[in-house]
Chain A
């Protein structure tokens, strides 16, 4: 049974608290027990407690599949991009290198690329994925668009991302503040520097009323 179209995955990084419940729960999924397909880390722990969970974005045109020389990575009609098929995967790492989001990981013990398949064994039978089921802050949310619009009136979702000149459209949505002007989130923009607010540079000092310009 395919994953119902009305059920969608939303990521809200503003809510992530870095607890790793998603990482731990992912490794409890029946199809890959003991292996977590989610990576979660601090963006810059010196400056902030901001953390980011990386789950597969399930691209409309998955780069991982496009670069796979063995045609091992398949997308089902419901838009879910699956872990490499074991008989086909040649462990070449092309997908690991090519994925703009850095999702696929090589399981060297099994010589197999493994990645998030949106808990296909669960979502295809009407359950939520493990990660979004347990996520304490609901930074990872699985439900209908109507539900998320009602629950998060301050945000809107995007599913188009710009990597240099490559535009990627994904099945998974990212929540962004409603007021932002950008229609697209240019991930590579962060690579070229930019203005850093004083309060970001040292939020504690700023809150204490200490001038950090000195």
Chain B
């Protein structure tokens, strides 16, 4: 059913991506806004405060929000230009159905008829093939209310176990590692602790481009006397002026962490008191890292031994410190092991749970934190509860007013959902806030699977490259058209405020989901009148859980500029810093500061393994992927904003001159990158800022520009995160420009 309309150019003509630029009153410096709305950026996990200027139900510009404490007015270029996503010519204004008779493949459909059609198809598929045959893919850019509702919709209304979300591509290795070590999955510290650290260790995080505002925290820490250590295969803008740069070979992070711990033990740079009183498992880890001598660590990581020794000394002897990492160590087939290796360094130092002593992943998506707490993950129930835990099921069943047996068991991860389509087990799919055709690895497989579906419905505000495969498209809402909370990288719950109404027949996403429930005849539990009502239930559902929101209100968020969870009662101010001495949590019940029955943190043996696909004679180069500052995720929004596309129009292959020269490639040449999965032809950018055995390509583009045609779908066995950060490729100079270069604009 869901095959791509034949004429791609026609779809692009109708649905874009086209570029929006400031015109009309958006260029009129004298235009007085009707209102100024304090809200947050719609993009990354830092969730900078911003004020949107609104006139006649249109966002016409922005004004820095200087009072919001995290960013104090600062914004990256995406935040500055995000307002151009509104009133966009590509905006979906009504529902569509697939129509093979029209050249762009879609015909408008009256909203209620679209909802009925979706309900009929869900009924048809589930009655014929079982409840699990209909799957949902959701996203972590949704507000927490919506994320909660998606989980409830899957588990209570559709009773399918198969719901997962795009955080599977993003935060799950950190989440799994944190749960194994601390029993809780949240950034441990507010960013203000970075400023008081003597050493800031940044592993696999292109801070300047992916979390730009964090740069000021890092630089300010250095002004205050901190040493900055950056571990990355590329000299990123933050690495350029750090104090110690460790140019690690992609996929070898755990080896480095083990090697550092080896030196900490050898030199007795350990906090024995903390290790003895607050942790378990150190001896096993110590035995494991004994083999990780500096020599072996240098051989495996590709970093000079003297640099490893220097890093260990700085880290080992610091009085305060902050360790940060991001997708660079997490996007691996052993991503959880990398995270555990990093946490072992923090635990051995004892520098956690006090001022200037911190550890955190830098969460990627806008609601990367909140979106992974309340039940849209395949194995989770609200309040960061476990779907396989009978007590947890009983509690949520009581909140929802159903029998615990009615809640399905754990489903499978986002990539596995596509494999189950291949196996014929999943026949129907609903997506929201997820563009897997661009964002999942080995995406020719993803495209084939979408074509194989019996029925596919997409809720979206623009027709994403994935939604092009849909049988029915429902017009959802942009960030500024709804309200609700999100949790930032710091664990700060903040409030997104509505600036404008949805245009045309577009609806707020939670209304669409409830309309489907109503059409299915199962509207009980889906009659919320506002995000505030959903939040009230969410607070109750989270009560007593690890991610306890029960004491958070919209009003308290506004008054305090956000509330850090856990916040278990109305008079509780929230918890900016986790794991403080004497702190209470519902698992330890006062026995200790970590979220285990004995209150102690866990050292976990972190095992090194090479990447799932290592280089060989056929494919001798490592490919690593990532982001650029002017684009965000799959580009559904940012590839439609002219000034952002101008900044960095299309992906380039970063390649070191030593490698480029050997292959006869010069700067600006078209080059073909090939793996066992596929190939893409892009222009080369010859730079000395990358390891000579590695090339880098950013992933925000679709179609023939998509590097995910090449990447590998190997996943971490625990977190199920794909290994975006390393696979084996070969590269050669192209005889000429690829066909697409003349046919399509850069963003298309």
Chain A residues 34 to 56 lying within 8 A of chain B, measured CB to CB, are: 34, 45-51
Judge if A203 is at the interface, Cβ distance under 8 Å: yes
Complex CA–CA separation, A30 to B213 (angstroms) = 24
- A24 near B235 with CB under 8 A, answer no
A205 CA to B307 CA, complexed, in Å: 13
Assuming the contacts A18-B237, A133-B64, A136-B75, asked whether A204 and B215 have C-beta atoms less than 8 A apart, the reply is no
Which residues of A lie under 8 Å from residue B66 when comparing CB positions?
128, 133
The closest CB in chain B to the CB of A20 belongs to B77
Check A31 against B29 for contact (C-beta < 8 Å).
Answer: yes
- Say yes or no: A21 contacts B80, CB within 8 Å: yes
Question: Across the interface, do B212 and A19 meet the contact criterion of CB distance under 8 Å?
Answer: yes
Q: Contact: B307 with A207, CB < 8 Å?
A: yes
Q: Mark B61-75, 1 if CB is under 8 A from A, else 0.
A: 110101000000111
Separation of A130 and B222 alpha carbons in the complex (Å): 25
A209 within 8 A of B: yes
Supposing A31-B29, A203-B688 touch, asked if A46 and B61 sit within 8 A by C-beta, the answer is no
Assess the A209–B304 pair: CB atoms within 8 A.
yes
**A134 contacts chain B at the CB level, 8 A cutoff:** yes
The interface residues of chain B lying within 8 Å CB-to-CB of A87 are none
Q: Is the CB of A204 within 8 A of B235?
A: yes
- Residues of B contacting A48 with CB < 8 Å? 235, 240, 688-689
Cβ contacts under 8 Å, B571 to chain A: none
Q: Which residues of B contact A134 (CB under 8 A)?
A: 64, 73-76, 79-80
Choose among A20, A28, A151 the residue that contacts B629 (Cβ–Cβ < 8 A): A20
From the candidates B29, B216, B630, B688, name the one contacting A20 in the complex (CB within 8 A): B630
Report the minimal beta-carbon distance from B155 to chain A, rounded to whole angstroms.
39
B307 neighbours in A (Cβ, 8 Å):
207, 209
The chain A residue with its CB closest to the CB of B66 is: A133
B252 contacts chain A at the CB level, 8 A cutoff: no
Partner of A46, one of B216, B246, B657: B657
| Residue from A137, A151, A208 within 8 A of B247 (CB atoms) | A208
Are B73 and A137 interface neighbours, CB within 8 A?
A: no
The answer to the question of A14 belonging to the interface, with a C-beta cut-off of 8 Å to chain B, is yes
| A27, B643: Cβ atoms closer than 8 Å | yes
CA A149 to CA B657, docked complex, whole Å: 41
CA distance A50 to B209 in the complex (A): 13
Q: Which residues of B contact A21 (CB under 8 A)?
A: 74-77, 79-80, 212
Interface residue SS majority, chain A: loop
Task: Flag if B685 contacts A154 (CB, 8 Å).
Answer: no
Contact present for A24 and B77 (CB under 8 Å): yes
Asked if B245 lies at the interface with its beta carbon under 8 angstroms from chain A, I say yes
Q: Are the C-beta atoms of B304 and A207 separated by less than 8 Å?
A: yes
Which residues of chain A in 6-31 are interfacial with respect to chain B, using CB atoms and an 8 Å cutoff?
A: 14-21, 23-25, 27-31
Q: Is A33 an interface residue (CB 8 A)?
A: yes
Closest to A200 in B: B688
Closest to B216 in A: A138
Q: For chains A and B in complex, what number of residue pairs have CB atoms within 8 angstroms?
A: 151
Interface residue from A25, A34, A137, A204 paired with B208 (Cβ < 8 Å): A137
**Residue with the highest number of chain B CB atoms closer than 10 Å, among A28, A136, A152, A204:** A136
- Chain A, Cβ-Cβ closest to B29: A30
Determine whether the beta carbon of A45 is less than 8 Å from that of B691. no
User: Which B residue's beta carbon lies closest to that of A26?
Assistant: B80
How many Å lie between the Cα of A81 and that of B306 in the bound state?
51
Report whether A207 and B245 are in contact in the complex, using a CB–CB cutoff of 8 Å. Answer: yes
Cβ contact within 8 Å between A17 and B690: no
In the complex, chain B residues 295-313 whose Cβ is within 8 Å of any chain A Cβ? 302-304, 306-307
Q: Are B28 and A136 in contact (CB under 8 A)?
A: no
Q: Say yes or no for B692: interface residue by CB 8 A criterion.
A: yes
- Which residues of the other chain, B, contact A152 by a CB distance below 8 angstroms? 223
Q: Which residues of B contact A136 (CB under 8 A)?
A: 74-76, 208, 212-213, 215-216
B598 to chain A, nearest CB (A): 42
| A203 lies within 8 A of B689 (CB) | yes
8 Å CB contacts to A: which residues of B436-465?
none
When distances are taken between beta carbons in the complex, the residues of chain A under 8 Å from B688 are 46-48, 202-205
Q: Among the interface residues A21, A31, A45, which one has the most CB atoms of the partner chain B within 10 A?
A: A21
Interface size in chain A (residues, C-beta < 8 A): 45
Task: From the candidates A47, A133, A202, name the one contacting B74 in the complex (CB within 8 A).
Answer: A133
On whether the beta carbons of B692 and A204 are closer than 8 Å, the reply is yes
Whether B629 contacts A19 by the Cβ 8 Å rule is yes
Q: How far is the CA of A45 from the CA of B314 in the complex (A)?
A: 30
* Cβ-based interface call for A106 (8 A): no
Complex alpha-carbon distance, A46 and B667, angstroms? 9
Q: Which residues of B contact A203 (CB under 8 A)?
A: 235, 245, 688-689
Is residue A181 within 8 Å, beta carbon to beta carbon, of the partner chain? no
Rounded to whole angstroms, the CA-CA distance of A27 and B27 in the bound complex is 9
Are A204 and B689 touching (Cβ within 8 A)? Answer: yes
Contacting residue for B240 out of A50, A133, A205, CB 8 A: A50
Is the Cβ of B223 less than 8 Å from the Cβ of A154?
yes
Pick the residue among B64, B209, B235, B667 that contacts A17 (CB under 8 A).
B209
Q: Which residues of B contact A25 (CB under 8 A)?
A: 75, 80
Partner of A14, one of B236, B241, B656: B241
Is A153 engaged at the interface, CB distance under 8 Å to the other chain? yes
Task: Give the residue name and chain of the B residue nearest to A30 (CB).
Answer: B29
Q: Is the CB of A17 within 8 A of B643?
A: no
Bound together, the chains give a CA A16 to CA B657 distance in angstroms of 25
Residue A176 lies at the interface, judged by CB distance under 8 Å to chain B:
no
Within the assembled complex, what's the spacing in Å between the Cα atoms of A47 and B240? 11
B645: Cβ under 8 A from any A Cβ: no
B695 nearest CB across to chain A (Å):
13
Given contacts A28-B61, A49-B237, contact A138 B219 (CB under 8 A): yes
8 Å CB contact of B30 from A19, A30, A46, A138:
A30
A168 at the interface (CB under 8 A from B): no
Contact residue among A18, A34, A133, A151 (Cβ-Cβ distance under 8 Å from B27): A34
- Interface membership of A99, Cβ < 8 A: no
How many whole Å from A203's CB to the nearest CB in chain B? 6
- Interface residue? A135 (CB, 8 A): yes
Is B200 located at the chain interface by the 8 A CB criterion? no
B212 cross-chain contacts in A, Cβ below 8 A: 17, 19, 21, 136-137
Highest count of chain A CB atoms <10 Å: which of B22, B215, B629, B657: B215
User: Shortest beta-carbon distance, A45 to chain B, in Å?
Assistant: 6
The closest CB in chain B to the CB of A32 belongs to B29
| A contact residues around B304 at 8 Å (CB) | 207-209
List, in ascending order, chain B residues with CB within 8 A of A27's CB: 22, 643
- Give A138 to B27 CA distance when docked, in angstroms: 27
Instruction: Tell yes or no: B686 within 8 A of A by CB.
Output: yes
Query: Which residues in A have their C-beta under 8 angstroms from that of B519?
Result: none
Provide the bound-state CA to CA distance between A130 and B80, in Å.
Answer: 10
B290 within 8 A of A: no
* B495-539 with Cβ < 8 A to chain A: none
Quote the shortest CB–CB distance from B185 to chain A (angstroms): 27
Measured CA separation A136–B217 after assembly (Å): 9
* The one of A29, A135, A208 that contacts B691, using a Cβ cutoff of 8 Å: A208
B647 located at the interface, meaning its Cβ lies under 8 Å from any Cβ of chain A in the complex = yes
CA gap between A31 and B223 in the complex, in Å: 35
Which of chain A's residues have a CB closer than 8 A to the CB of B215?
15, 17, 136-137
Residues in B with CB closer than 8 Å to A135 are 74
Asked whether B689 lies within 8 Å of A15 as measured between CB atoms, the reply is no
Complex contact A15–B29 (CB within 8 A): no
Q: How far is the CB of A41 from chain B (nearest CB, A)?
A: 11
Q: For the complex, what is the distance from the CA of A50 to the CA of B688, rounded to whole Å?
A: 12
- Report yes or no: A17 in contact with B238, Cβ–Cβ below 8 A: yes
List the B side residues contacting A46 at CB < 8 Å.
Answer: 657, 667, 686-688
5 A/B residue pairs, CB under 8 Å, sorted by A: A17-B237, A34-B27, A49-B235, A135-B74, A205-B658
B residues apposed to A, CB below 8 Å: 22, 26-30, 61-62, 64, 66, 73-77, 79-81, 208-209, 212-213, 215-216, 219-220, 222-223, 235-241, 245-247, 302-304, 306-307, 629-630, 643-644, 647, 656-658, 667, 685-692
What would 7 more interface pairs be, CB under 8 Å, given A18-B237, A46-B687, A154-B222? A18-B208, A28-B80, A30-B30, A49-B240, A203-B688, A208-B302, A209-B304
Nearest 8 Cβ contacts at the A-B interface: A209-B304, A30-B29, A17-B208, A136-B212, A17-B237, A137-B215, A133-B64, A24-B80
